Amino acid sequence: MSTELILSYLSIPAGFWLLMWSADRFVDGASALAGNLGVPPLIIGLTIVGFATSAPEMLISGFAAYDGNSGLAVGNALGSNITNTALILGATALVYPIAMHSGVLNKEFPMLLFIMAVGSYLMWDGQLTRMEGAGLLVGLFLTIGWITWQGLRNPDDPLTRETVDDLPPAISTPKALMWLAIGLGFLLASSKLLVWGAVNIAVSWGVSDLVIGLSIVALGTSLPELAATMSSAKRGEHDIAVGNVVGSNMFNILGVLGIAAAITPTAVEPDVLWRDIPTMFALTLGLIALSYFGHWKAPLLQRWNGALLLLAYVAYQVSLFFQVA
């Protein structure tokens, strides 16, 4: 095994650890700076924190697209959605059954399906152009505005209250600027490191960068959502546990794919159209069905629902393995 390949394998765990650490520092700095500048906590929670949690996926896809690895960019976006829905919510529900009561969340499920449908339509011709990427980014900011407007209209909504309560502690402006700069710098460096390692490993294994994006990279970039969702569910903040995943999935389609396509026209492999997009839709519709029909009184993800989602995730990953073996 060559020295470069050994370093590539080491770059994956190192890159993921740095990515999670720097994303937390970036969120802390950005949130504290906005708070010190007088931005209301609700706006910080619904926009800055939500946007920053998808920053790893956006940066990785941006670097991948810039380096000509469009499969990695597309695989990271769709793979993260599949991982968020099946693995993260499945594992969380298996440990902590999740009850959902949020009116805002009830509006976000249809919004997520709409965004997925738009993204899928744009990819159906096998390519995302720069114009389409720019359109997705416009949709990202419109979605952020819509979520914020909904939160301002319903300040007593459980999701809104939990979001505000979950904000990082306040710190001084100089310290906030320091963590913002450090977080951003390491986010960029770790994202570049991960793309380099993932592409080298894909070449050594003889698989496409799409498969690496759908599996290893998607899993790694979703680890922060897993930790946040588990933590929220443990504290009884069920709405924010699901809201984290739904919001992240919206941002993955609009932001991750949008940034990649805006940087360079992004090719979409045929496998994405017949395998990965249908899987993403099936899991999302299954999540909605399991949630709203899991209990006759209120939307609920029970332990057996979580087990089904986990089995679906394992089946999908096994199918990827056999298709490239």
Q: Which residue has the tokens 């380096």?
A: 67
DSSP string covering 8-63:
HHHHHHHHHHHHHHHHHHHHHHHHHHHHHTT--HHHIIIIIIHHHHTHHHHHHHHH
The mean pLDDT value of the chain amounts to 83
Of 79-93, 163-177, 222-236, the range with the highest mean pLDDT is 79-93
Q: Structural domains in the chain?
A: 42-166+192-324 (1.20.1420.30)
At 136, the pLDDT band (50, 70, 90 cuts) reads very high
25-75 pLDDT, tens per residue?
A: 877 887 787 778 776 666 666 566 666 667 788 888 888 888 888 888 899
pLDDT of residue 102: 55
pLDDT at 313 over 90: yes
Calculate the alpha carbon distances from 52 to 29, 36, 45, 304 in Å: 11, 18, 10, 32
Q: Which of 73, 118, 117 is nearest to 261 (CA)?
A: 73
Calculate the alpha carbon distances from 247 to 23, 91, 271, 290 in Å: 16, 18, 26, 19
pTM for this model (two decimals) = 0.84
| Lookup: tokens for 307 | 């087990």
Please answer whether residues 268 and 276 qualify as being in contact, where contact means their C-beta atoms are separated by less than 8 angstroms.
Answer: no
At 312, the pLDDT band (50, 70, 90 cuts) reads very high
**CB neighbour class for 43 (10 Å; exposed up to 12, middle 13-18, buried from 19):** middle
High-pLDDT (> 70) share of the chain, %: 85
Mean per-residue pLDDT for 99-121?
Answer: 82
Q: Which of 317, 163, 304, 168 is nearest to 242 (CA)?
A: 163
For residue 15, how many other CB atoms are within 10 A of its CB?
25
pLDDT of residue 52: 66
> What stretches of 264-299 show up as alpha helix (H) in DSSP?
270-271, 277-292
Enumerate residues 6+ apart whose C-beta is below 8 A from 38.
none
71-91 pLDDT, tens per residue?
A: 888 999 999 999 999 999 998
At 245, the pLDDT band (50, 70, 90 cuts) reads confident
The Cα–Cα gap between 182 and 176 comes to 10
Calculate the alpha carbon distances from 251 to 13, 41, 94, 102, 255 in Å: 24, 21, 25, 20, 5
pLDDT at 104 over 60: no
The Cα–Cα gap between 311 and 84 comes to 14
Greater pLDDT, 154 or 19: 19
pLDDT of residue 103: 60
At 16, the pLDDT band (50, 70, 90 cuts) reads confident
Enumerate residues 6+ apart whose C-beta is below 8 A from 20.
56, 223, 224, 227
284-298 pLDDT, tens per residue?
A: 998 888 777 655 455
Please answer whether residues 261 and 63 qualify as being in contact, where contact means their C-beta atoms are separated by less than 8 angstroms.
Answer: no
pLDDT at 250 over 80: yes
